[in-house]
Amino acid sequence: MIRSVIVCLLALLSIPSNASAQSCVGNPVAVQVLGSGARANDRASSSYLLWIDAQARILVDIGGGAFLRFGQAQAKHNDLSLVAISHLHPDHVSDLPALLWLTHQDQARKAPLPIVGPSGNDVAPSFPTFLSRLFDEKTGAFQVLGPTLGATPPKRGGGVRLDVGVVDVTKAEPSIVFDRQGLTVTALGIPHGDLPTLAYRVQTRDVSVVFSSDQTGTTPRCVEFGEGANVLVMHLAIGAGATSGLQAAPAVVGRVAQEAGVGRLIVSHIDLFDLDAAIAELKKFYTGPLTVGADLQCTSVR
Ligand SMILES: [Zn+2]
């Protein structure tokens, strides 16, 4: 009796909250939410995978908890074509050292891993400076990860070698950040308070997916960049009736998706607010297919 109770408790503990553990393998193109949360600790923070056939090819953001979800999704470092970072808030990037902390004995990845992030300003360093502050072999916080930026690997540790790119968030037009292996990825600066932030659009085969990240949704560019996407992932970060200088209200999320004419809207980055009320407000402005994000949830892109 006691043993069976313990087994049941262990089984319950092994099920991650808000994690539906769906597999994306078997879809031609699919979006998997690795982290559907922000600061609430019952979801991993922001992170997404774009799957093509049986490979996770693009990772967008890697907030706290997302590295565990990356493993649970059975994604592989070797399959990644690009890591795209939207901005440098912890809920979007804090698991990056964990992702890269692989030893040479792991044989996880020998080819450089393309990674791209935003330019800097007074309130945030540029992405290359951010990486140097983390991983520089002499001055970084994680000196042992110096080889990620080209230092000669020590006998132990080392990390995944990075091929670093940066996008000027002040550019008016989208920048191409990756264009090979059947994938075209563009990035565009979007309004998220003072913090340099990028939205990403992926085109592959005959479908497109837009990852809008945190933004106020207050410029026409937000709609234009998402125009006609098969799937738009947008952040529902504040509740109904709330206002923020950083995040779009539910009504704005709905309006952007509606005006962009997307095939499906996935809302994510869900925090401590009344989700039902926020969805109800969003639906007053958006009438198309809607998915409410959950960790490890997979959505086929058609
Ligand atoms: Zn965020």
Ligand 1 center to 233 CA (angstroms): 13
Q: Three-state DSSP class for 143?
A: helix
Ligand 1 center to 235 CA (angstroms): 8
Answer whether residue 25 is part of any domain: yes
Answer whether residue 118 is part of any domain: yes
Cα separation of 234 and 293, whole Å? 10
pTM, rounded to two decimals = 0.92
Domain count, the chain: 1
Ligand 1 center to 224 CA (angstroms): 22
Answer whether residue 112 is part of any domain: yes
∠ Cα 30 212 88 (to 5°): 110
Average pLDDT over residues 218-232: 94
Percent with pLDDT over 90 in the chain:
80
Question: What does the pLDDT look like over 241-283, one tens digit per residue?
Answer: 999 999 999 999 999 999 999 999 999 999 989 999 999 999 9
> Domain of 276?
20-300
Ligand 1 center to 273 CA (angstroms): 15
8 A C-beta contact, residue 207 and residue 301: yes
Answer whether residue 181 is part of any domain: yes
Ligand 1 center to 239 CA (angstroms): 14
User: What mean pLDDT is reported for the chain?
Assistant: 91
Crossing angle of helices 250-260/275-283, nearest 10°? 40
Ligand 1 center to 190 CA (angstroms): 13
Question: What does the pLDDT look like over 99-118, one tens digit per residue?
Answer: 999 765 555 688 999 999 99
The CATH number given to whatever domain includes residue 51 is 3.60.15.10
Cα separation of 16 and 20, whole Å? 8
Answer whether residue 5 is part of any domain: no
Answer whether residue 7 is part of any domain: no
Answer whether residue 13 is part of any domain: no
How is 93-129 classified by DSSP, letter by letter?
A: HTTHHHHH--BGGGT---S-EEEEEE---SSS--HHH
Cα separation of 51 and 30, whole Å? 5
∠ Cα 107 112 116 (to 5°): 130
Question: What does the pLDDT look like over 39-82, one tens digit per residue?
Answer: 888 999 999 999 999 999 999 999 999 999 999 999 999 999 99
Answer whether residue 15 is part of any domain: no
Ligand 1 center to 8 CA (angstroms): 35
Ligand 1 center to 240 CA (angstroms): 18
pLDDT band at 125 (very low <50, low <70, confident <90, very high): very high
